[in-house]
Structure 1
């Protein structure tokens, strides 16, 4: 690891020490020395540097063991803010969070992803600037921007890769465009990946192997293993919607060009088409959920059958990945136990007993906020990583 310019050799490793304070638990210099096995003089120098740079703040005193009570220090979550953006096919959600991931303000507006990257991104950026101003902040206060988009992304570059429902977005340099207006890195990922990360950081840190499935207009999955997103070689891991369902009608053509895909038989449009054929007047996923809520028998049966189709694919995923928990999210998850019952019925029947021994299959807890929470967490993990902290301290104390 190279030494950041302007950081004295005695302070190299400040970022590693900072990781002991990321959990928000206030600690004294003495406690940090015990946890890190570093010399007290080294701890003092690095803590002072983090205080001077604004990363830490004093939060009271510990009980005295004789003499002056020692001061406790913790993450200064107000030092900088994070801009989180969740783009869907027909909406844009923009939020500002602090460095602990707490959302300070948020707004969701109608936004057609087919309007193209310039229109959609500028719309989101304008909302972000308004939210920042309302919080007394400026774009320069932004530690980083996290953005989720409804299509495949090459995470290393932040460029969408042939996204099927995002005309004009292929290979567009999202980080360069948003980086002109905000400070810090701009990180881009698939929206379902960020939903998975959002579920993990808010509800499932005790279950480090998580599979989130979004069931809405399309079907996709996000995989968290050992607490980290699994993106695959080119960012397409979790493309569950285009796995063929055993026994699916051969004439059911998916938008990808293949037949019998899970998305073509169990996503919102497929369920709506089946219901219309039975005389139920529904078009959108929301209307399907409304029909289920009103007790429409055909809708109840169709949603449960979609759950079974989803479960037939997830049974293979369970055998392959052995997740601790499967979270079902997306608009159709609002159909509640009817969708979950179908999933559970098949997964528990067809997966290996060892793989399902402690498996939980549950509905989303983060709901529609999952993408925003995941985008914020992605940025926080990047800007509070050891090397990033070293560079930040070097720049602030220079």
Structure 2
């Protein structure tokens, strides 16, 4: 089995890691700015630089790259990536139909396989995190600026047969975007998502909108923001909740409630053994859990809910890299 380079491309940084033959412990890691919101050319240069640095002097030299990329990914093409873009005629336009894989292959001389970052995070978490490589299905929810989701179906999850645990990606490769499920008709608005979606309520934007409506005139949250509601951030809300601030804790409890509706629907649709919660905002799970579990029990079918564990993801930062590694290795077989 050849050495493999795994790449996790984000809007801020690109990370690359070298994995030796058959191993899951990175031999070498590199992280550098991705320039993904500046131009395709600069982003490609950043990826090439990270891969060349991590591959330098490797023995045996890697032959294949697995890469996690945000957006709608099919084969080697990024059909849509709303947070990546180029300035065109003075306007910023998001990536559409960018042959990123082919561009990198021509520069690096290595074979590349690509997948959606949230899907590959779920794949990594299934094999090397909370799924332990044997769970009867896993859903991964990544909480951050947006809501990333991925579904891994094990052979037990289907009738008709699967030979191994498999990512659900939909007929055109862009499915399983559960963060875009509408949970409140004509609900809370969002600048880049449909109104009333999970992302509109549980992504950073939605959380801060509700926090501003409840902004107190005194107390720990007020003090942390120095009285300026524009200073609100998920970290500030978390820090305030830790001190016992009632407003911050209410915002997190309410956020948990909306997540619980999503979790209940996931249980009803897929009945996974594990729902794993990752991303920076998952650090506030302690303050979201009661609200979430209340809604899960209201939403999910009783005979299904008891068979699902809702847990914090074990891999966090490395889930995407390890998912990209699995994708590359599976493409060899």
Q: 1:197 touches 1:224 (CA, 8 Å); kept in 2?
A: yes
Is 1:245 matched up with 2:183? yes
Query: Which residue does the alignment assign to 2:281?
Result: 332
**Farther-moved stretch of structure 1 (207-216 vs 269-278):** 269-278
Q: Which residue of 2 is the match for residue 351 of structure 1?
A: 300
Is 2:44 the partner of 1:121?
Answer: yes
Distance 1:118 1:264 in 2: 31
1:43-70 CA-to-partner distances (Å, cap 9, x unmatched) read xxxxxxxxxxxx5xxxxxxxxxxxxxxx
Partner in structure 1 of residue 266 of structure 2: 317
Q: Does the C-alpha gap of structure 1 residues 199 and 229 become closer, same or farther in structure 2, counting only changes over 3 Å?
A: same
- Length-normalised TM-score, structure 2: 0.83
2:77 to 156, 159, 162: 159
2:139 and 2:99 map into 1 onto residues whose CA distance is: 29
Alignment-derived partner of residue 10 in structure 2? 88
Shift of 1:89: 2.3
- Going from structure 1 to structure 2, the CA distance change for 1:318 and 1:120 (only over 3 Å counts) comes to same
Q: Could you tell me how far apart the structure 2 residues matched to 1:131 and 1:211 are?
A: 31
Q: Gaps spanning 5+ residues in structure 1: where?
A: 1-54, 56-79, 386-398
The structural deviation recorded for 1:118 is 2.0
Q: 1:116 to 1:337 in 2, by over 3 A?
A: same
Matches of 1:348 and 1:332, distance apart in 2: 22
Aligned to 2:67: 147
The 5 A counterparts of 1:49-198 are 55=1, 80-98=2-20, 99-133=22-56, 136-137=57-58, 141-154=61-74, 157-168=75-86, 169-198=95-124
Aligned to 1:266: 202
| Structure 2 match to 1:306 | 255
Q: Sort the Cα spacing of 1:288 and 1:108 in 2 relative to 1 into closer, same or farther, 3 A.
A: farther
Using the alignment, how far apart are the partners of 1:90 and 1:124 within structure 2? 12
Q: Cα gap change, 1:305/1:257 in structure 2, threshold over 3 Å: closer, same or farther?
A: closer
How many positions carry a matched residue from both structures?
A: 299
Instruction: Return closer, same or farther for 1:296/1:144 CA change in 2, 3 Å cut-off.
Output: farther
Alpha-carbon contact 1:142-1:183 (below 8 Å) kept: no
Tell me: CA distance 1:381–1:237, structure 2 relative to 1, closer, same or farther (3 Å): same
Asked whether the equivalents of residues 312 and 347 of structure 1 are also in contact (C-alpha less than 8 Å), the reply is yes
Contact 2:35 2:42 in 1 (8 A): no
TM-aligned CA deviation for residue 180 of structure 1: 2.2
Aligned to 2:92: none
Please state if 1:296 is matched with 2:232. no
Please state how far the C-alpha of 1:90 moved relative to its aligned partner.
Answer: 1.9
Q: Does structure 2 retain, via aligned residues, the 8 Å contact 1:144–1:182?
A: no
The answer to whether structure 1 residue 229 and structure 2 residue 167 are counterparts is yes
Is the contact made by 1:340 and 1:362 (CA closer than 8 Å) also made in structure 2?
Answer: no
Which of the numbers 212, 226, 233 marks the counterpart of 2:140?
212
SS of the residue aligned with 1:165? Answer: strand
Change (3 A) 1:371 1:287: farther
RMSD: 2.1
Contact 1:159–1:170 (Cα < 8 Å) also in 2? no
2:125 counterpart residue number: 199
Shift of 1:213: 0.6
Q: CA deviation at 1:199?
A: 0.4
In 2: Cα distance, 1:89 partner to 1:185 partner: 23
Are the counterparts in 1 of residues 188 and 200 from structure 2 also a CA contact under 8 Å? Answer: yes
